[in-house]
Amino acid sequence: MAKAKSIAVIPPPVMVAVFNQKGGVAKTTTACNLAVGLGAFGYRVLLVDLDTQGNATSSFGVSPLPATGAFEVITGRAKALEAALDTAYDGVWLLPATASLRDNDHLLAHAGRRRGLLETRLADTGVDVVVVDCPPALAAATSTALASASAVLMPVRPDPYAHEGLVNTWYEIKRIREAINVQLGVAGILLTMTGSEPTGDDVARVIRAEFGEQVYAVDIPTDPKVAEAAQMALPVAVLDPDGLAGRAYVDATEEVLRRLARQNRQGTQLPPPLGRDEALNRLRGWRATAHGALLRRPDASPGWAKRAPLDDDGDEDEADDHGYSGPVTVEAAAVTPVTTGRRLVALLLAAFAAGMAAEALSGVLRRLFG
Ligand SMILES: Nc1ncnc2c1ncn2[C@@H]1O[C@H](COP(=O)(O)OP(=O)(O)OP(=O)(O)O)[C@@H](O)[C@H]1O
Ligand SMILES: [Mg+2]
């Protein structure tokens, strides 16, 4: 990764942590699309993969996990400028997950208790925004992100059990704000994968009623293009910027920017973005190049998604220096067929649980905020 600015004083980046304690709510999908969305609007963005699953890393076509990445940077074993990988999208870099993150989460316990450590480690990258993909747990990696973040964006899938994740997530944010990071703000609640469950509209209505302004006006609809994009290791905003989910992520990116601008406090200030039309054109352009590169077979063109990081002098480093030399591969996701009978039973159970969950959600949230 080339250093962004050569001026002596670089303002710290705005850091948005994408977090919900609940699994499978589109944290990674949101983090990746927000990162490219912000890149399309003209910002220099670093996406940090702090999830041991490494899904954000593979979403950018980097597979297997490299040897140097977020864990090594946080623990001081590598510099962010060396470990961050260039992506196919101008101005967007990836600090990948590594196997060490999977095996040594406990070694981040110290980082999770220290205000601003991640921010310090990323300071010399000179990017405008850092987007962090957090794991679905209150792990040390999550605390490390929240101890530095300016704001948390919470994707919530409005299923019958959404309230539990939301309440736990809210408690965790509150605890970290009080104990470690007073700067930690909320970048809002983004409803994801809407329209996929019969009870989803009711749950979404309850969440909107309880959280009011905190919930984004735009929601991300369920769209088969998201899975298609994931299989191709492309963010849906790149594969299909004019489609349902792609366009919704562009809208959500703009809403994130408006919310950060409104907060207008230290850690949330950014220069003005490019116009929407220009951003959409950039995404369409990326689709043409990234998609074209993929069609040329990823293993035949390892440079399409990951180029070797640049030295400060702009030379490409040997990939070996960073412990990553393998070709970029994209593995098709396994599709598990679900029988019609199982779907029906699941549907009935979900409908039953939704009634109970909506009621419980109102009570818990009233106690929390009222
Ligand atoms: N809008 C959408 N429409 C359809 N499928 C979606 C949508 N958003 C996400 N998905 C799919 O839902 C699954 C879970 O998404 P994702 O991995 O982003 O969730 P997550 O919260 O990061 O999961 P985890 O908690 O395991 O980290 C993925 O298969 C993804 O492709
Ligand atoms: Mg994830």
Q: Give the pLDDT band (50/70/90) at residue 292.
A: low
* Residue 95 falls inside a structural domain: yes
Phi and psi angles of residue 369, each rounded to the nearest 5 degrees, phi first: -110, -15
Domain that holds residue 192: 14-369
pLDDT digit string, tens, across residues 206-263: 999 999 999 999 999 999 999 999 999 999 999 999 999 999 999 999 999 999 999 8
CA pair distance 93, 44, nearest whole angstrom:
8
CB distance 231 to ligand 1 below 6 Å: no
pLDDT of residue 305: 41
pLDDT of residue 113: 83
Which percentage of the chain shows pLDDT scores above 90?
Answer: 59
The better pLDDT of the pair 197, 272 is held by 272
pLDDT of residue 363: 54
Instruction: State the burial class of residue 349 (Cβ atoms within 10 Å of its Cβ: 0-12, 13-18, 19+).
Output: exposed
pLDDT at 328 over 50: no
The ligand 1 atom at the shortest distance from the C-alpha of residue 55 is 17
Mean pLDDT check: name the lowest of 78-82, 151-155, 281-285, 318-322: 318-322
* Residue 148 falls inside a structural domain: yes
Q: What is the pTM of this model?
A: 0.80
Domain count, the chain: 1
CB distance 63 to ligand 1 below 6 Å: no
* Residue 348 falls inside a structural domain: yes
CB distance 141 to ligand 1 below 6 Å: no
Residue 8 CA to ligand 2 center (angstroms) comes to 36
Nearest of 118, 122, 177, 169 to residue 144 by alpha carbon: 118
The ligand 1 atom at the shortest distance from the C-alpha of residue 245 is 1
* Residue 5 falls inside a structural domain: no
* Residue 318 falls inside a structural domain: yes
pLDDT of residue 35: 98
Q: Which two tokens stand for residue 264?
A: 């207008």
pLDDT at 365 over 60: no
pLDDT of residue 32: 98
* Residue 221 falls inside a structural domain: yes
Average pLDDT, the chain: 81
Residue 135 CA to ligand 1 center (angstroms) comes to 12
Cβ < 5 A residues, ion ligand 2: 27-28, 55
* Residue 279 falls inside a structural domain: yes
* Residue 210 falls inside a structural domain: yes
Give residues with Cβ within 8 angstroms of 98, minimum separation 6.
Answer: 54, 65, 66, 67, 68, 69, 70, 71, 72
Vertex 155 angle, CA 149 and 157, to 5°: 160
CB distance 23 to ligand 1 below 6 Å: yes
Nearest of 370, 364, 17, 36 to residue 188 by alpha carbon: 17
